[in-house]
Amino acid sequence: MSESSSRELLERLIGFATVSRDSNLELIAFIRDYLAGLGVECELFHNPERTKANLFATIGPRDRGGVVLSGHTDVVPVDGQSWTVEPFQLTEREGRLYGRGTADMKGFIASVLAAVPAFLGRPLTLPVHLAFSYDEEVGCLGVRPMLAELERRPHKPRLCLIGEPTELKPVLGHKGKLAVRCQVQGAACHSAYAPYGVNAIEYAARLIGKLGDIGAELARPERHDERFDPPFSTVQTGTIKGGRALNIVPAECEFDFEVRALPDFDARQVVDELQAYAETELAPRMRAVQPETGISLKPLSAYPGLATSPDSEAARLLALLSGSTEFGTVAFGTEGGLFEQAGIPTVVCGPGSMEQGHKPDEFISREQLAGCDAMLRRLALHLQGEGGSA
| Separation of alpha carbons 331 and 333, rounded Å | 7
Of 341, 317, 335, which is closest to residue 327 (Cα–Cα)? Answer: 317
> What is the chain's Cα-based Rg?
24
Which one of the listed residues 11, 104, 135, 136 is annotated catalytic? 136
Asked whether 245 and 155 are in contact (CB, 8 A), the reply is: no
Residue 209: strand, helix, or coil:
helix
Asked whether 215 and 258 are in contact (CB, 8 A), the reply is: no
272 assigned to active site: no
Question: Is residue 374 classed exposed, middle or buried when 0-12, 13-18 and 19+ CB atoms within 10 A define those classes?
Answer: middle
- The DSSP element (H or E) to which 303 belongs, if any, is strand 294-303
Which one of the listed residues 11, 74, 164, 340 is annotated catalytic? 74
Kindly list the distances between the CA atom of residue 343 and the CA atoms of 159, 172, 336, 338, in Å, as whole numbers in the listed order. Answer: 9, 16, 11, 9
229 assigned to active site: no
DSSP 318-350: HHHHHT----EEESS--SHHHHHHTT--EEE--
Which residues, listed in sequence order, are joined to residue 225 by a DSSP beta bridge? none
Strand order in the sheet with 96-98: 91-93, 96-98, 363-365
Active-site residues, by number, are: 74, 136
